[in-house]
Amino acid sequence: MNAVHTLDIPEPTAADGGLRYGSLTWHPAREHTDLLAPPVAAALAGFAGADRIHVAPIDPELADTAEMTKAYELPEAASVNCVIVAGRRAGEERVAACLVRATTRADVNGAVRRLLDVRKASFWPTGRATESTGMEYGGITPIGLPGQWRLLVDEAVLAGPAIIGSGLRRSKVLLPGADLAKLPGAEVISGLALPPG
């Protein structure tokens, strides 16, 4: 794993509870719901760890991980990708959101397929993912996902800070990675992710 995982999120220094991480200024998410998709803002209202969640506006053209981390001087290993995967068994579609560090990739046809107990697992088409979540492509996040979906969290996500989507391409969310395991229905899985390539 990348040494970045051991870095902590800086303490808030601004009067409004804001902080600096990379070249971005992050603000308390509960006070900046205009930077969150509606399902994310609604879910955040009931989340016990909401006071540790910050949001920062970004250029929507830089929402993809590689561009964002470079432009805003953020460690790539701090970024956590949320991918929607599904498979069928006995006519039933089984859907899961998988959280993995950006320096890895989800083991879709290994660990994820076995966890869903399906013959074949695949990524959901973009249009279906955005329609079902009420979120924008490039901003899909585990906060505010449909409750019937499984939420699979790679164990490595828990260590250090996590930068995730806000539901919108024009902002990102920063929180302690360990707080992702506290989301409703989260299942922490060892070996959910593989090295890149």
pLDDT per residue as tens digits for the range 133-186: 999 999 999 999 999 999 999 999 999 999 999 999 999 999 999 999 999 999
> What are the tens digits of pLDDT across the range 27-81?
999 999 999 999 999 999 888 888 999 999 999 999 999 999 999 999 999 999 9
| CB of 174 closer than 8 Å to CB of 147 | no
Domains contained in the chain, CATH given: 3-190 (3.90.960.10)
132: burial class by Cβ within 10 Å (0-12, 13-18, 19+)? middle
pLDDT, tens digit, 9 for 90 and up, residues 97-131: 999 999 999 999 999 999 999 999 999 999 999 99
Does residue 144 come out as left (phi exceeding 0), alpha (psi in the -120 to 50 range) or beta? left
In what side-by-side order are the strands of the sheet with 80-89? 122-123, 80-89, 92-101, 150-154, 186-189
N- to C-terminal Cα separation, the chain: 15
To the question of pTM greater than 0.85 for the whole model, the response is yes
